[in-house]
């Protein structure tokens, strides 16, 4: 029977597909770490209290990248070059979502609207990350190779999402509510398209590595398109709602150390 668990199991059990999976994940996390690090350095003077939380977010992303590299090393594998069409973070930037890398490479301080844009982008992408890790957690929390990593990363992603909710609500109370909702909607609608395209590309690469039959590829492709249709019809709204999280100040402390996985 074809299921998310069976598909992920195939990917995790074969060295080349596992290599691609971890390489894509590590690349995206490293990119997120760099982006958050630059944003923390460029936070406007009036919002400097936010800088340590943004830096903590970046440190977590860097840690996740190291974890995926450690998982590869544990299997005796080296990272592989990430195919352009599977690079989620790069494609989001190409679609104008979040802050442009050229802006982050400069030394000019960001503005409050820039920080609102960053937080709205993060709220959308962290929703996706949290959901993906909860899916892996449901099926592989006790997996001998990746279980420990999945548990740690899932907890971190939930913290990141909570932090985005809390900070966006703070900015909404300060008068940025309309800008926040507009930016969240734009980000969400762009993200679901990028996620669809990246998912199709990743499944295509995995299908070739795992020699999936045509019928299986078609079934998985159909599932991805069906998910996009559901998100386009209204599922995207889960990415734009804001509510005060149960855990307050989720990024208020230092980043937790990565477990020794290699």
Residue 43, in any domain of the structure = yes
Q: Is residue 252 part of a domain?
A: no
Distance of alpha carbon 128 from alpha carbon 134, whole angstroms: 10
Within a 10 A sphere around the Cβ of 71, how many other Cβ atoms?
A: 23
Give me the domain span that covers residue 125.
4-239
Q: How far apart are CA 92 and CA 103, in angstroms?
A: 15
Residue 140, domain CATH: 1.20.1260.10
User: How far apart are alpha carbons 262 and 65 in whole angstroms?
Assistant: 13
As averages over each run of 10 residues, the pLDDT of the chain (262 residues) reads 87 96 96 97 96 97 97 96 95 92 94 98 97 95 90 97 98 97 97 98 97 96 97 97 95 67 46
Strand locations in 100-248 (E): none
Which token pair is 63? 């840690």
* Residue 256 covered by a domain: no
Angular region, 175: left φ>0, alpha ψ -120 to 50, beta rest = left
**pLDDT given at position 262:** 40
Global pTM reads: 0.94
Residue given tokens 């959308």 in the structure block = 124
Whether 47 maps to a domain, the answer reads yes
Residue 194 lies in a domain: yes
From CA 27, how far away is CA 64, in angstroms rounded?
10
77 falls within a domain: yes
Q: Who's near 163: CB < 8 A, 6+ residues apart?
A: 53, 57, 245, 250, 251
Domain count, the chain: 1
pLDDT at residue 254 in the model: 66
| Residue 154 and residue 136 in contact, taking contact as beta carbons nearer than 8 Å | yes
Can you give the pLDDT at residue 210? 97
In a domain, 245, yes or no: no
Q: What pLDDT was estimated at residue 91?
A: 95
What count of residues does the chain have? 262
Note whether residue 29 is domain-resident: yes
What CA–CA distance (Å, rounded) separates 163 from 49? 14
Structure token pair of residue 52: 């340590």
Q: How many CA atoms lie within 13 A of 65 on its CB side?
A: 15
């Amino acid at each position: 029977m074809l299921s998310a668990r069976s598909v992920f199991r195939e990917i995790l059990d074969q060295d080349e597909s596992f290599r691609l999976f971890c390489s894509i994940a590590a690349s995206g996390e490293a990119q997120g770490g760099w982006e958050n690090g630059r944003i923390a350095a460029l936070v406007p003077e009036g919002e400097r209290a936010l800088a340590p939380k943004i830096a903590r977010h970046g440190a977590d992303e860097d840690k996740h990248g190291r974890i995926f590299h450690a998982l590869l090393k544990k299997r005796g594998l080296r990272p592989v070059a990430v195919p352009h069409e599977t690079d989620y973070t790069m494609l989001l930037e190409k679609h104008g979502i979040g802050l442009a890398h050229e802006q982050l490479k400069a030394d000019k301080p960001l503005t409050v609207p820039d920080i609102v844009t960053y937080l709205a982008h993060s709220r959308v992408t962290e929703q996706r990350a949290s959901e993906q890790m909860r899916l892996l957690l449901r099926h592989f929390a006790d997996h001998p190779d990746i279980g420990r990593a999945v548990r740690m990363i899932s907890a971190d992603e939930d913290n990141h999402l909570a932090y985005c909710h809390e900070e966006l609500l703070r900015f909404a109370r300060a008068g940025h509510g309309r800008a926040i909702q507009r930016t969240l909607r734009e980000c969400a609608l762009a993200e679901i398209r990028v996620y669809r395209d990246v998912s199709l590309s990743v499944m295509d690469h995995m299908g070739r590595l795992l020699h999936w039959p045509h019928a299986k590829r078609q079934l998985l492709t159909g599932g991805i398109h069906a998910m996009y249709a559901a998100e386009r019809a209204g599922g995207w709204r889960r990415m734009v709602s804001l509510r005060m999280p149960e855990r307050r100040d989720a990024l208020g402390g230092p980043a937790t150390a990565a477990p020794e996985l290699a």
